[in-house]
Chains A and B, each alone.
Chain A
Amino acid sequence: MLAVSFISFAMFTYVGDPVAIMLGQDFTEAQRAALVAELGLDQPFFVQFLKFIGNAVQGEFGLSYRLSRPVAELIAERAPATLELALCAAVIAMAVGVPMGVYTGLYRHSILSRFFLTFSLIGVSLPTFLIGILLILIFAVALGWLPSFGRGDVVRLGWWTTGFLTVSGLKALILPAITLGVFQLTLIMRLVRAEMMEVLRTDYIKFARARGLSNRAINFGHALKNTLVPVITIAGLQLGAIIAFAIVTETVFQWPGMGLLFIQSVGAADVPVMAAYLMLIALVFVTINLIVDLLYYAVDPRLRIGKGAH
């Protein structure tokens, strides 16, 4: 986290010349000096860094060079769109990926399994933007069923804006969520499949069979639960990745989220926004790691120490 903040800040300081961008073509040396002082750019590197950290902790990332508005405000405005999109993508990836993984792990040689595996190969190898464009071509351009860009109508709930409550909002979610979820979906499916096959070879599964338990109890009880232990970690990391990868999807669908904001900021060398975005992504990863550790603890009794072994 500290490392990310340092890098963000280094970028903040050295990439582009924000002053030139803010002032435009014609400026006097006095104007320039005044702005530099106002932005605090005349102070030594480490003073600037400490100030940056202090402000960041309070959610204060300074002004956007491009829009001349507080960065925190911009991010708060864009965050709901990204989080809703990421949530839908993650739900799709888990809800479809886990069952497909279980199925292909159990029935390795069935035709449907082969189909799923081929599909997952395509999902892994096609770049996200291509999947997005293909979906747009089919469902938006050719069939005209779903919108190809934007969020549709959103409803305001306090500072949060949601697309879940309107038909056009939900329709607008479908294509980007699928685009964003497909890669993670295939990853989760392959992971669950590999783990499932591994678990099915273990002695305790053989012993469960030798005890005469039903297939259902063995496959969906004993085997699935053991499969999910390692899947939790990866799925958690994937959720972080989904939020980070949203950049591409948001660009393809002109989705008004943080990723799009980031891309626009990159184009304008709007460093405060970029730095704040990176910090936020780092925060998301750290939080998810924590949640994953807690989940592990809940699922795997071997980690719950203090009960006294033997």
Chain B
Amino acid sequence: MTAPLLEVRNLRVEFHTRRGTLTALNDVSLTIAPGEVLGMVGESGAGKSMTGAAIIGLIEPPGRIAAGQVLLDGRRIDNLRYDQMRQVRGRQIGAIFQDPLTTLNPLYTVGRQLVETITTHLPLNPAQARKRAIEWLEMVGIPAAAQRIDSYPHEFSGGMRQRVVIALALCAEPRLIVADEPTTALDVSIQAQVIALLKRLAREKGTAMLLVTHDMGVIAETADRVAVMYAGRIAEIGPVRDIVKAPNHPYTAGLMASIPPLDRRVDKLAAIEGSMPRLSAIPPGCAYNPRCPRVFDRCVRERPDLLDAGTTRAACWLHAHG
């Protein structure tokens, strides 16, 4: 295995609130190799966005990284000062947010936003940067890019705006993209196009990606490996084939069973009973134990770490050997 591009080690993110400290991320570790796509799934509130925000160093107070490290090329980036981290953001790690209607500044033309990003990070003069910006708009499939560059965000449709956002995230040629539900806010009919674009550009540029999504179909098609999050922890992580076809964690298995198969019609989906606990009410032992069909006495007493489970790693006592 090549040296990882990104490594997250035992990351813990806490929120200090009036009603005590909430642990939004607990002991999260993962790696992403150069050019690799790591999919991330999990229920709402599991901590997917928080993981992405921690990686780009944009966790907002009262949240803070309480423990653990984030390393890029083996260099810690979680403790950089703002102006040092600024040279990582955009240049090394790009970000794509969920809602393209709100991620673009309404008062600046898309060209201006592209040019300012390019000139911030690359040694180009404004004229060269503008040329580069037009090239990027063409690459993300904006028709008549040379004219559209001077348009304002509101003059584009939602799908086109997300293409602009993708251009903005990629235009300083980062080596990693954190894409947090990049298509959730889009029309169903254009979701596939945008994902295909993202996948193609990442492959062409050799950009690694952390792809957060609720869509297992997208994961199966796009990701190399998958991390399944549950209540602020990683429940299982491994190659996409094994996670989808032969999951080792009961939660992953439940998640997969709740996805309608494409090849046959089903009358009833096997949804997981109950819901994920709130951060303030995570049960002792395995966080999944109230909902787990295979729960046994150890699960209620002790919390499982990620354990080797064949081809994947799963936080489940069923895989404790010896």
Contact = CB atoms under 8 A, between A and B. Distances in A.
A225 interface: yes
Interface string A289-310: 0000000000111100001111
B120 A309 contact: no
Contact of B58 (A206, A217, A229, A301): A206
A208 interface: yes
B305 interface: no
Interface in B149-189: 151-152, 154-157, 160, 165, 168-169, 172
Contacts of A203: 97, 99, 102-103
Nearest to B118: A211
Contact of A213 (B94, B102, B120, B151): B120
B86 A214 contact: yes
Interface in B118-169: 120-121, 151-152, 154-157, 160, 165, 168-169
Contact of B108 (A206, A210, A222, A229): A222
Given A202-B102, A307-B155, A225 B107 contact: yes
A308 B83 CA distance: 40
A161 interface: no
A212 B106 contact: no
A109 to B, nearest CB: 10
A207 interface: yes
Given A203-B103, A222-B105, A210 B56 contact: yes
Secondary structure call for the B interface: loop
A69 interface: no
B35 interface: no
B91 interface: yes
Given A217-B120, A301-B106, 16 more contacts: A203-B102, A204-B102, A210-B89, A210-B90, A211-B94, A211-B95, A211-B169, A212-B87, A214-B120, A215-B83, A222-B107, A226-B106, A302-B154, A309-B156, A310-B155, A310-B160
Interface of A: 202-204, 206-215, 217, 222, 225-226, 229, 299-302, 307-310
Interface of B: 56, 58, 82-83, 86-91, 94-95, 97, 99, 102-109, 116-117, 120-121, 151-152, 154-157, 160, 165, 168-169, 172
27 contacts: A204-B103, A206-B97, A207-B95, A207-B97, A207-B103, A207-B165, A209-B89, A211-B89, A212-B120, A212-B121, A213-B116, A213-B120, A214-B120, A215-B86, A217-B116, A222-B107, A226-B105, A226-B106, A229-B107, A301-B109, A301-B152, A301-B154, A302-B152, A308-B155, A309-B154, A309-B155, A310-B160
